[in-house]
Amino acid sequence: MSTAPWQREWQNAIRHPASLLKRLGLDASLLEPATRADRLFELRVPEAYLQRIEPGNRHDPLLRQVLPVDAESADSAGFGDDPVGDHASLANGGVIHKYRGRALLITTGACAINCRYCFRRHFPYADANASSGQWAGAIDYLRADPSISEAILSGGDPLSLNDRRLGALSEALASIPHLRRLRVHSRMPVVLPSRIDGALLEWLTGTRLTPVMVIHANHPNELDGRVADALQRLTARGVRLYNQAVLLRGVNDDAATLEALGERLFELGVQPYYLHLLDRVRGAAHFEVDDATAAALMRALAAVTPGYMLPRLVREVAGEPWKVPIDWTRHAPM
């Protein structure tokens, strides 16, 4: 089987801090701490994303999302390995079933990019993913529960798998009578837009299930021309697009950036959906924005943004039956 262009791009991603710093002309003093943090959670940045980072700018908001730093080794109270209760919600076959009506399949542990704030950076993928059993356990679980109307593919990033496997999975899911929608959570359209090719569109839109894709962009600089083209290919085939962003200190914790992000997403046919408060995963405390600051940002954003473009500010809380909304309208001003 020939290697697709996106697979070659992924295989050639930068994997070593020294290579990243050299490519971007960054100070060598960053190498030692980056190397230490890389041992905890390895670096991975594809070329398509690297090209959007400003050379020589150690404070670039895209660089901050991918560069390993010493702060990741800090022991911070309230931060742990399973911040959203995934482990407790795991069912047979790599299925996470937290919310009524929908269930999530951990399809793989692989991603095209390793975001430093990843809430599953400590997840035991080797022991708990749907692909390890060639989907059988996951399909049996979904088939046995008629209350489930939506299957969600997650990971890692499900689009890191090849189209042959994903096509077989989508057909198996479509054979379950009570399923109505196939939702894919992926950062690939943003970080590796070449992934959105004809083969992907065939399996994603080729069954009776309504296709939905939730992408993940945190900053308007992530949404360049190649990303715009990829998103247009999806919308042209009837895929409904939503964005989930994470509120990150030093990346998008100002109203102007959030406004620009929402405007750009909407321009590209993507509905701003959730703005997540940081999942408190060990190694990511330096990204946290406190609730009062988040509420102030939402008030500032609401003052300049149409209501239909305003994302919902939420936090995921282990054990809760839905994502918990933050009432920023009543939160005490700073």
Residue ranges at the known binding site: 111, 115, 118
Residue 58, phi then psi, degrees to nearest 5: -70, -10
103, 152 contact by CB (below 8 A): yes
Radius of gyration of the chain (CA): 19
Residue 222, phi then psi, degrees to nearest 5: -75, -15
240, 184 contact by CB (below 8 A): no
Please give the annotated binding residues for [4Fe-4S] cluster, written as ranges: 111, 115, 118
Report the 10 Å Cβ neighbour count for 242. Answer: 17
CA distance 236 to 234: 5
Residue 188, phi then psi, degrees to nearest 5: -55, -45
For residue 262, cis peptide bond before it (omega within 30 degrees of 0):
no
CA distance 333 to 82: 31
Q: In the chain, count of helices (H) and strands (E)? A: 13, 10
How many residues are there in the chain? Answer: 334
For residue 269, cis peptide bond before it (omega within 30 degrees of 0):
no
Q: Closest by alpha carbon to 72, among 116, 10, 28?
A: 116
For residue 80, cis peptide bond before it (omega within 30 degrees of 0):
no
